[in-house]
Amino acid sequence: MSLLSALLPLLAVYRAGIAAILRQLGRRRRCPPPAAFPTQNGKVAIVTGGTKGIGYQTAKHLARLGMHVIIAGNIESEGQEAVRKIKEETLTGKVEFLYCDLASMKSIRQFVQQFRAKNCPLHVLVNNAGVMLVPERKTEDGFEEHFGLNYLGHFLLTNLLLDTLKQSGTHSHNARIVTVSSATHYVGKLHLNDLQSRCSYSPHGAYSQSKLALVLFTYRLQHLLTANGSHVTANVVDPGVVNTELYEHVFWVVKVAIWMTAWLFLKTPEEGASTSIYAAVSPEMEGVGGCYLYNEERTKSADIAYDEELQKRLWTESCKLVGISDEASRVP
């Protein structure tokens, strides 16, 4: 493998060019201190992948604001350690861990059952967990891992929690769904006839497809929520290029490049979490949905993401794949 071919995945993640990196350098922001947002006492949030990186920082800041935070993750020991650290750093006991493997439809359903058994509301759902550039492999349900975990897992989780979110939102305080995508969605292609990448597998192609699917999903979801008059909003966020463990599967040359340039080009996990936190609690986002947010600002996503027919087709196919009824088929 040549040096150039080894660096291609990294270059793609860096928004496919140096100009994008320079834009990020000019607009880097640290996460606003929790005091910048109103307290969230009495509210409940679920954060997937909240044991490390962006998810951990998101969970910690929401807990610091007074939320009861439930971290959903697939490694019990990491989850309990995250809970311990957040309690220690925020001096709050309103954080807990529940097991949820987003690569398993059965596990997701069990998680939702456990959550419902608590008989508590749900005001914020942060769909944060994900894998990146992993070798070709399948989930226990037979889905390609990027598509199955990053997208279908969150699609099912969100739909199963939707009734609780609708019951928890009010006219003045909407419940919020925040989904973490990536700038790689700009170069993503959705292959409706081969969503599992069986014909030709590329780690970057599969990853970018999953991130594009999350944007399409969010826009369709907001359309449905609006059509039903629900007090729930759905937005998608781009955290930027963040120095996290997601890069563990890239080629070693790329890892060296990341190690050498992280201080200059990459955000810290705390900086990367800022837009998720903003979308979850900022008064500016009250009642606002269907947005693509980057650096706490609304920006334009890929043109293909606004294709309403594609949004509908992906939604319908996703319902079939995860085994839920497509009630949205009755909505124009």
Measured between alpha carbons, how far is 190 from 184 in angstroms, rounded to an integer?
Answer: 13
Q: Is residue 85 part of a domain?
A: yes
pLDDT at 157: 98
- Structure confidence by residue, pLDDT tens digits, 25-53: 444 444 555 558 999 999 999 999 999 99
Instruction: Output the CA torsion 76→78→82→83 (10° steps).
Output: 20
In this structure, what token pair is assigned to residue 63? 């807990």
Mean pLDDT for the stretch of residues 55-81: 97
Instruction: Answer whether 95's CB lies under 8 Å from 63's CB.
Output: yes
Q: Is residue 108 part of a domain?
A: yes
Identify the residue whose tokens are 């005001």: 123
Mean pLDDT for the stretch of residues 151-158: 98
Q: Please report, for the domain that includes residue 163, its CATH number.
A: 3.40.50.720
pLDDT at 240: 87
> CA of 168: how far to CAs of 120, 160, 175, in Å?
9, 14, 6
Report the SS3 class of residue 171: coil
What is the tally of structural domains in the chain? 1
3-state secondary structure 293-322: EECCEEECCCHHHHCHHHHHHHHHHHHHHH
pLDDT at 35: 53
Q: Is 207 a catalytic residue?
A: yes
Q: Is residue 278 part of a domain?
A: yes
DSSP-H helix ranges across 76-234: 76-90, 105-117, 145, 154-168, 203-227
pLDDT at 235: 98
Confidence category of residue 260, pLDDT binned at 50, 70, 90: very low
Q: Is residue 140 part of a domain?
A: yes
pLDDT at 265: 57
30-33: list long-range contacts, CB under 8 Å, 24+ apart.
30/270, 30/271, 30/274, 31/57, 31/61, 31/270, 31/271, 31/273, 31/274, 31/277, 32/274, 32/277, 32/278
Instruction: Answer whether 45's CB lies under 8 Å from 280's CB.
Output: yes
Q: Is the pLDDT of residue 236 over 70?
A: yes
Report the SS3 class of residue 91: coil
Q: Is the pLDDT of residue 127 over 80?
A: yes
3-state secondary structure 32-85: CCHHHCCCCCCCEEEEECCCCHHHHHHHHHHHHCCCEEEEEECCHHHHHHHHHH
pLDDT at 241: 74
Mean pLDDT for the stretch of residues 210-237: 98
Tell me which of 27 and 225 has the higher pLDDT: 225
Q: Is residue 22 part of a domain?
A: no
Kindly report the pTM of this predicted structure. 0.87
Residue 52's CB is within 10 A of a number of other CB atoms, namely 18
Confidence category of residue 253, pLDDT binned at 50, 70, 90: very low
Given 14, 56, 151, 207, the catalytic residue: 207
Q: Is residue 298 part of a domain?
A: yes
- 195: domain range? 39-240+273-324
What rounded mean pLDDT belongs to the chain? 86
Q: Is residue 166 part of a domain?
A: yes
Measured between alpha carbons, how far is 185 from 239 in angstroms, rounded to an integer?
Answer: 12
In this structure, what token pair is assigned to residue 294? 């980057």
Measured between alpha carbons, how far is 276 from 237 in angstroms, rounded to an integer?
Answer: 6
Q: Is residue 8 part of a domain?
A: no
Measured between alpha carbons, how far is 58 from 82 in angstroms, rounded to an integer?
Answer: 12
